[in-house]
Amino acid sequence: MVNIFPFRGVVYNKKKVKKLSKVISPPYDVISSEEQDDLYNLSDFNVIHLIFGKEFPGDNEYNNKYVRAASTFEGWLRHEILVIEEKPYMYVYEQQFKHKGKIYSRKGIIGLLKLEDFGRGKIFPHEYTLSRPKQDRIELIRATSANFDPVFSIFSDDKDKVEKIMKKVVRRNPDFEAKGIDCVINRLWRIKQKGVIKKLQKEFKDKSVFIADGHHRYEAALQFRNEMKLRNTRITEEEPNNYAMMGFVPIQSSGLVVFPIHRIIKIPLQFDLQYILSQLKLYFDVKEFSFGKKTESLARKKLLKKLADMQSKHAFGLYFNEKIDSYYLLVLKDESIMRDIVKNEKPEEWKKLDTTILHTLVFQHILGIQDEDSYIFTHNEEEAIAAVKNGGAPMSVLLNPINIENIVKIAQKFERMPQKSTYFYPKLTTGMVMNKLIYGEKIE
């Protein structure tokens, strides 16, 4: 059973913060160090100070980015830069953005979710997590007792019941509106009517919810909940640490865009190019796109078009530092080979994922790369290619996006994809609404 609730959100005080666009931020995990500086310089009250604070040489147990985030958060609340809503609300959250020349709009609900352990209810992850970012998020929750970023989830709204509720709410002007540094326009509406909130709660009872983005935040919230239970035997199921702020977007939304996440190999390859190509040709049809100085752009366009055309065929684009005047397209000859390569009980859908084929067949079986720290992830194909061209990486691999239906199928079997298999665009912006864990208040 999926239980969602309204909450007294923490929002910027429009009387003191005149330009909301100056204080919102992308989520912490997609911010480069340069963007961190830009956001710091944008406003002294930018939410970056809370979610991704700077580190200094003298940091210690008593003075570090988490301690500073907690102090800053309390200071902003005390001086009413941030205010806690008078009443508990749910929110309709819309993001308007442009992708490949087309304007999209994506709407969802933001509310509190009653936390569930994976495998025991109807909350499903779809990717594996990394220990370091999860530790980072748990430290932030411990210090601040707050959720600054909503977890991003998807659910099926096949009868458009939630969509119809959202359409009614957004007929009026939004309560908050801001344009982020990523040029995404964010709009937020309070859902004030108790009857509408009750209707949403009833509608979600029998839903399955799939985490699209924010696995580390969700798992950190679970860990914090468990720590609090161990610390206080009198703690009840109604305490605020049993909940996390989450955004819920219908799978049917036309604005649900998924980018591929490309791989940049950052360690030296064990074998030369000719040997690698000879091994790849045992399993893939390999096509070379050679180019000169004036034809590189055309060759890249041809590669990317062919790659997109082969979305159902398990295809990859390769670029080698050893030969920077050619791109290569790989197309798997026979997906049944994965039954021999992947010696485990994983479902067929998992074995047929492009990321599974890439990691097990290409990286591990052919290249001998076992350590997942051996590559860098990026959703930017320009960055993947530039890393090789500039001599910083021996090889980059370009992928197609994963189909949303495959994400759901695998998650429902309680399986997870290889890490960084998906990039839902845009990310949910941080700073539109936040959640402070207020002990002593009943959540209902």
The edge-to-edge listing of strands for the beta sheet with 375-378 is: 284-290, 323-332, 315-320, 395-398, 262-265, 375-378
Query: Is the alpha carbon torsion for 167, 173, 249, 8 positive or negative?
Result: negative
Per-residue pLDDT band for 42 (boundaries 50, 70, 90) equals very high
Quick one: DSSP state of residue 166?
Answer: H
d(CA 258, CA 260): 7
> Does the structure show a pLDDT above 90 at 370?
no
* Residue 2: per-residue pLDDT: 93
Per-residue pLDDT band for 343 (boundaries 50, 70, 90) equals low
pLDDT digits (tens, 9 = 90+) for 99-122: 988 999 999 999 999 999 988 889
For the chain, give the percent of residues with pLDDT over 70: 99
* Other CB atoms within 10 A of residue 137 CB: 25
> Does the structure show a pLDDT above 80 at 267?
yes
**Rg (the chain; Cα; Å):** 23
* Residue 10: per-residue pLDDT: 98
Q: What is the mean pLDDT of residues 398-416?
A: 86
What pTM value is reported for the model? 0.90
| 285 or 372, which is more confident | 285
For 123, 153, 193, 342, 444, the CA distances from 349, given in Å and listed in that order, are 20, 21, 43, 12, 39
Strand-pair partners of 361: none
| Cβ pair 280, 330 in contact under 8 A | yes
310 Cβ contact partners less than 8 Å away, ≥ 6 residues apart = 329, 331, 400
> Does the structure show a pLDDT above 80 at 440?
no
| Cβ pair 377, 260 in contact under 8 A | no
Per-residue pLDDT band for 7 (boundaries 50, 70, 90) equals very high
For 26, 82, 179, 301, the CA distances from 23, given in Å and listed in that order, are 10, 11, 10, 38
| Cβ pair 153, 212 in contact under 8 A | yes
Q: What is the mean pLDDT of residues 81-96?
A: 97
**Nearest by Cα to 21 from 189, 182, 214, 247:** 182
Strand-pair partners of 315: 331
pLDDT digits (tens, 9 = 90+) for 203-245: 999 999 999 999 999 999 999 999 998 887 676 778 899 999 9
* Residue 329: per-residue pLDDT: 98
pLDDT digits (tens, 9 = 90+) for 273-319: 999 999 999 999 999 999 998 999 999 999 999 999 998 889 999 99
Q: What is the mean pLDDT of residues 59-68?
A: 95
Amino acid at 301: K
| 288 or 30, which is more confident | 288
> Does the structure show a pLDDT above 70 at 344?
no
* Residue 373: per-residue pLDDT: 83
Domain ranges of the chain: 4-257+425-436, 261-400
pLDDT digits (tens, 9 = 90+) for 134-191: 999 999 999 999 999 999 999 999 999 999 999 999 999 999 999 999 999 999 999 9
Per-residue pLDDT band for 429 (boundaries 50, 70, 90) equals very high
- Say how many residues make up the chain: 444
Mean pLDDT of all residues belonging to the chain = 92
* Residue 338: per-residue pLDDT: 76
